[in-house]
Structure 1
Amino acid sequence: MPRFSGKVALVTGSSNGIGRATAILLAREGAKVTITGRNAQRLEETKQEILRSGVPEDHVLSIIADLATESGQIELMNSTVDIFGRLDILVNNAGAAITDLEGHIGVGTNVSVFDKTMRINLRSVVTLTQKAKEHLIKTKGEIVNVSSIAGGQHAQPELIYYAMSKSALDQYTRSAAIDLIQHGVRVNSVSPGDIRTGIYETMGMNKESVENIYKFMESRKECCPIGTIAQPVDVANIIVFLADRKLSSYIIGQSIVADGGSSLVMEVQAHDWMELLKH
C-alpha cells in the first residue's frame, strides 16, 4: 500500500517548481492532493502531470486562488475538507521574490515591496496555518514550510525583504512546532539554495540570462560546491520525507538545508590553500 494512502495534502504554490514536484510525489505515493495557484494554465499542467502518473482524477482537487487573500484561503481550506473529508499534510510552499520596479535595493527598497513580500511569504503562512490547525489536530498531521538559505546569517541586500521574510518564517516554524506538538502536530521546514524553479524568470529575467547565471554558479566552488544546481524534485523529496511520520517522527521544528553546500563555504575555502601558500 502507498505510504500516504488515506492521507490528504494541501500544497500551496503548486502550479510550478517545488510545489508542483511535491504535489506530484505525494499523489504518486497515495495521497489525495489539493493543488493551488493563480495561473490557471500552469495549474492545469500540474494536474495533468499527476494524472499521467496513474493517479485517479478524484484524488486531485485543483483550485485557482490568491493565497494572499482571506477569501482565497477560506476557499482552499473549506473545499479541501468538504471534498476530501480531512487534512493531514499542509505544505506552505507559495512565496515570491519581489523586486523594486525602480531598481532600488537594500535599505532603499520601496516599502511597498516589503508589504507585498511579507503578505505572501509570511502572513499567508501564518493565517493558513491558523485555518488548518483544527483539522490537523484531528488527524495528528504534519506542516512543512518552504523557507530559504536567504534567511540565514549572511546578508542579502539585493533582496532584503525576501531574506527578512524567510528569517521570520524560520522563527515561526520553530515556535509553531513547540506550540503544536502538544496536540500531536509536527511542524518543520526545508531551506533550499538555488533551485531551477523559474523564480528568476518571474523576477523579469530572460531564460538565456538565467541559464548563464546557473552555469556560472555551477562552475564556481564558492557558489555551489556540489557543482550542479538542483531540480525541484530534489527539494520535494525532502518535503515528502518530513511529511512522512514513520521516517521523520522525531524531527520537530527543524529546517533542513538543501543547497549543495553553498551556505558552508567562505571565499577563501573555495580555493586551494596549499596553492595560495606558494605565493
Structure 2
Amino acid sequence: MARFSDKVAIITGSSNGIGQATAVLLASEGAKVTITGRNSDRLEETKKLLLNAHVPENHINVVIGDITQDTVQETLIKTTLDKFGKIDILINNAGAGIPDPQGKTGVNQSIDTYHKTFELNVQSVLEMTQKARPHLAKSQGEIVNISSIGAGPAAQVANPYYSIAKAALDQYTRTAAIDLVAENIRVNSVSPGAVATGFSNVSRGLNEEKSKKLYDYLASQKECIPRGFCAGPEDIAKVIAFLADRNASNYIIGQTIVADGGTSLILGAHAHGAKMIEAVFK
C-alpha cells in the first residue's frame, strides 16, 4: 500500500517550487491533494505534473487565489471536504520575502512591507490552522509548516521582515504542537536553506538566468553550502513527506527539521579554514 493511500492533503503555495514538488510526491504515493496558488498558469502546470505522475484526475482539487484572503481559505476547506470528504494533512507552504516597493533593505524597509510579509508568512498559517483544526481533529491529522533558516540565529540584514516572520512561525509551530496534541494533531515544520526555486526571482528581483547563477555560486562556496550543491524542491519535499507520515515520524511534535546542506552550521571563521587561521600565528 502506498504511504499516503486514503489521505487527503491541502498544500498551499503549490503552483511552483517546494509546494509543487510536495504535491507531486504525496499524490504519487496515494494522497488526494488540493493544490492552490495565485497564478493559474503555474497551477495548471502543477496539475499537468500530477497527471504525468499517473495521479487520477479525481484525486486533484484546484483552487486559484491569494492564501491571505479569507474567502480563498474558506474555499480551500470547503472544496476539499466537498470533493474528498475529509482533511488529513495541511502543508502551510505559501510564503515569500516581499521586496520593499522603494527598494529599501534592512531596518529602513517600510512598515507596509512588514505587514504584508507577516500577513503571508504568519497570519495565513494561523488562519488556515484554525479553519482546518476541527477536520484534522476528526482525522487525527498532521500539520507541516514551511519555515526557513533565515529565522536565525544568524542575522539577516537584507530582508529582516521575512526572517522575523519565519522566527514567529517557528514559535507558533512549537505552541500549536502542544495545544493541538491533545486532539491528536501533530504539528511540525521544515526550515530549508537555499533551494533552487523561483523564490529568488521574486524576493531578489532576479530573472531565471541570474537566479541560476546565484544558486550555482552558493553551491560552489564551502562557507555557503558545505554539502556542495543547492537543494532542489524535491529534496525538501521528502522531508515534508516524512513529517506528514505518522508511521515514520509519530513521536515528533513541535520540531523544526533544518534541511540546508550544513549552511546554518558555518561560522564566519570556518570560511577561512583552520590552517589559514593558524598561519597567522606562525
**TM-score, structure 1 normalization:** 0.98
CA–CA distance in structure 1, aligned partners of residues 63 and 84 of structure 2:
13
> Is 1:148 aligned with 2:145?
no
- How far did 1:222 drift? 1.1
Alignment of 1:220-259 (within 5 A): 220-259=221-260
Give the paired residue count: 279
Amino acid at match of 2:219: E
Amino acid at match of 1:274: K
8 Å Cα contact 1:10/1:90 also seen in 2: yes
> Is 1:88 aligned with 2:59?
no
Amino acid at match of 2:11: V
Amino acid at match of 1:19: G
CA–CA distance in structure 2, aligned partners of residues 89 and 218 of structure 1:
33
CA–CA distance in structure 2, aligned partners of residues 272 and 67 of structure 1:
45
Instruction: Tell me the equivalent position of 1:260.
Output: 261
Deviation per residue, 1:225-253 (Å, 9 max, x gap): 11110000000000000000000000000
Deviation per residue, 1:58-97 (Å, 9 max, x gap): 0000110211011010011111011100000000000011
8 Å Cα contact 1:223/1:262 also seen in 2: yes
Deviation per residue, 1:120-145 (Å, 9 max, x gap): 10000000100000000000000000
CA–CA distance in structure 1, aligned partners of residues 273 and 171 of structure 2:
36
> Is 1:160 aligned with 2:144?
no
8 Å Cα contact 1:66/1:72 also seen in 2: yes
Residues 201-210 or 170-179, more deviating: 201-210
Instruction: Tell me the equivalent position of 1:31.
Output: 31
CA–CA distance in structure 1, aligned partners of residues 150 and 117 of structure 2:
14
8 Å Cα contact 2:27/2:50 also seen in 1: yes
CA–CA distance in structure 2, aligned partners of residues 113 and 138 of structure 1:
37
Instruction: Tell me the equivalent position of 1:175.
Output: 175
8 Å Cα contact 1:65/1:76 also seen in 2: no
Amino acid at match of 1:58: N
CA–CA distance in structure 1, aligned partners of residues 161 and 276 of structure 2:
39
- How far did 1:37 drift? 0.4
CA–CA distance in structure 1, aligned partners of residues 212 and 16 of structure 2:
18
3-state SS of paired residue (2:158): helix
3-state SS of paired residue (1:157): coil
8 Å Cα contact 1:12/1:93 also seen in 2: yes
Deviation per residue, 1:13-59 (Å, 9 max, x gap): 00000000000000001010000001001001001111111111100
Instruction: Tell me the equivalent position of 2:273.
Output: 272
Amino acid at match of 2:120: I
3-state SS of paired residue (1:158): coil
8 Å Cα contact 1:92/1:143 also seen in 2: yes
3-state SS of paired residue (1:33): strand
Instruction: Tell me the equivalent position of 1:136.
Output: 136
Instruction: Tell me the equivalent position of 2:122.
Output: 122
> Is 1:109 aligned with 2:109?
yes
Structure 1 residues not aligned, in runs of 5+: none
Instruction: Tell me the equivalent position of 1:70.
Output: 70
3-state SS of paired residue (1:150): helix
Task: Give the superposed CA RMSD.
Answer: 0.9
- Give the % identical residues: 53
- How far did 1:211 drift? 2.1
CA–CA distance in structure 1, aligned partners of residues 210 and 48 of structure 2:
29
- How far did 1:106 drift? 1.4
3-state SS of paired residue (1:112): helix
Instruction: Tell me the equivalent position of 1:208.
Output: 209
Instruction: Tell me the equivalent position of 1:189.
Output: 189
CA–CA distance in structure 1, aligned partners of residues 151 and 252 of structure 2:
20
3-state SS of paired residue (1:270): helix
Amino acid at match of 1:118: F
